């Protein structure tokens, strides 16, 4: 990418898109295109077609998606499937039609089979059944990967796919029902501290293990891969390290300074038992994360406080 290249970030207001925007700005890119959802509905085929025809971006970061945690994924199953398919179909196809030089598609670690061996290698895709609670979202993201590969095969498009692990960081979603586990815990422990509550109840047993990557680290990886990776298939982006939900809760509790108890509601679902990425492919390409979990949570919590 040249510093003057026209770069479109789809989803620039979200946690991932805003991190990519910050990274590109820091690197001196001066021709970044963005649109708010009120100005461009990415689910609208004609609107996206007209936008690409008028703007003709050179490079595209496809970070726009409808996202959420277990409750949101399981409640809005049709919305998660339909809207994500619409967004990625419109952008990927318009990128081909308008001769975009390179596109980076962002998926999610939930694409892997629920009971896949750990850590998750890229080749485990489509080797087993998905986690039922987020199957519609996962199927949409799998379709995006396969669409990038199909356009590469048929039209020689340089479209690449990356699969981030669980993300957190600046501009995260702290909605009480529709957020992911780490920001949800930050909000709940903060509110419990503010309200002097005796305990915080967490869904499940606390035993599932999850891997977390700070969003600005993801942006660094995406920037690096946009410059250095041109292969079909996908590449995992993560830390290669995980932590149990129980230990995560204790870590967040201590960072926030909450003194109450933690209870686990074992009548509620745990979700996938473990989701650890195998990041050996990413490391072999020359990139590794730099922000460790405790430091990242402190940064995220400060951002949460600043925005309240």
**Active site (catalytic) residues:** 137
Would the annotation count 188 as a binding residue? yes
> Which residue spans within 135-198 are E strands per DSSP?
159-164, 166-168
Residue 107's nearest CA partner among 62, 53, 43, 150 is 62
**22 annotated among ligand-binding-site residues:** no
- Cα 208 to chain centroid distance, Å, stands at 19
CB 48 within 8 A of CB 40: yes
């047993």: which residue's tokens?
Answer: 205
Tokens standing for residue 196? 């002097």
Annotated binding-site residue? 165:
yes
Residue 15 labelled as part of a binding site: yes
Flag whether 200 is marked binding.
Answer: no
- Flag whether 12 is marked binding: yes
Q: Is 260 annotated as a binding residue?
A: no
108 is in an annotated binding site: yes
Query: Is 11 annotated to bind ligand?
Result: yes
The answer to whether the annotation marks 68 as part of a ligand binding site is: no
Are 269 and 70 in contact by the 8 Å Cβ rule? The answer is yes
- What does the alpha-carbon distance between residue 83 and residue 126 come to, in Å, rounded to a whole number? 22
Provide the angle, in degrees to the nearest 10, between the axes of the packed helices 245-256 and 181-194.
40
Q: Is 293 annotated as a binding residue?
A: no
- Give the number of other Cβ atoms within 10 Å of residue 304's Cβ: 17
Inter-residue contact 272 to 205 (CB < 8 Å): no
Is 43 annotated to bind a ligand? Reply is no
Q: Quick one: tokens of 275?
A: 């989701």
Which H or E element spans position 184?
helix 181-194
Please report, in range form, the residues annotated as the binding site for NADP(+): 11-17, 106-109, 141, 164-167, 180
Please report, in range form, the residues annotated as the binding site for substrate: 188, 203, 210, 270
């Amino acid at each position: 990418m040249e510093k003057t290249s026209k770069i479109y970030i789809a989803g620039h207001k979200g946690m991932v898109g805003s991190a990519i925007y910050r990274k590109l700005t820091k690197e001196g890119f001066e021709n970044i295109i963005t649109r708010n959802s009120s100005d461009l509905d990415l689910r609208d085929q004609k609107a996206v077609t007209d936008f690409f025809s008028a703007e003709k971006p050179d490079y595209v970061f496809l970070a726009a998606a409808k996202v959420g945690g277990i409750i949101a994924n399981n409640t809005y199953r049709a919305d998660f499937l339909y809207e994500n398919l619409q967004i990625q179909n419109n952008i990927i196809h318009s990128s081909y039609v308008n001769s975009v030089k390179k596109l980076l598609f962002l998926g999610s670690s939930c694409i892997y089979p629920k009971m896949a061996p750990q850590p998750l290698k890229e080749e485990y895709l489509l080797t087993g059944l998905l986690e039922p609670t987020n199957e519609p979202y996962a199927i949409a993201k799998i379709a995006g990967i396969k669409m990038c590969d199909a356009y590469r095969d048929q039209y020689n498009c340089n479209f690449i796919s990356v699969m981030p692990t669980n993300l957190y960081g600046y501009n995260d979603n702290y909605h009480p029902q529709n957020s992911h586990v780490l920001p949800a815990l930050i909000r709940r422990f903060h509110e419990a501290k503010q309200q002097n509550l005796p305990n915080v109840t967490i869904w499940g047993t606390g035993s599932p293990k999850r891997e977390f990557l700070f969003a600005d680290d993801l942006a660094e990886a995406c920037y690096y891969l946009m410059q250095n990776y041109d292969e079909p298939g996908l590449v995992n982006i993560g830390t290669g390290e995980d932590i149990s939900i129980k230990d995560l809760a204790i870590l967040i509790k201590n960072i926030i300074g909450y003194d109450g108890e933690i209870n686990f509601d074992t009548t509620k679902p745990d979700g996938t038992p473990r989701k650890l990425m195998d990041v050996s492919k990413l490391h072999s390409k020359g990139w590794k994360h730099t922000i460790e979990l405790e430091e990242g949570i402190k940064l995220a919590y400060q951002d949460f406080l600043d925005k309240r």
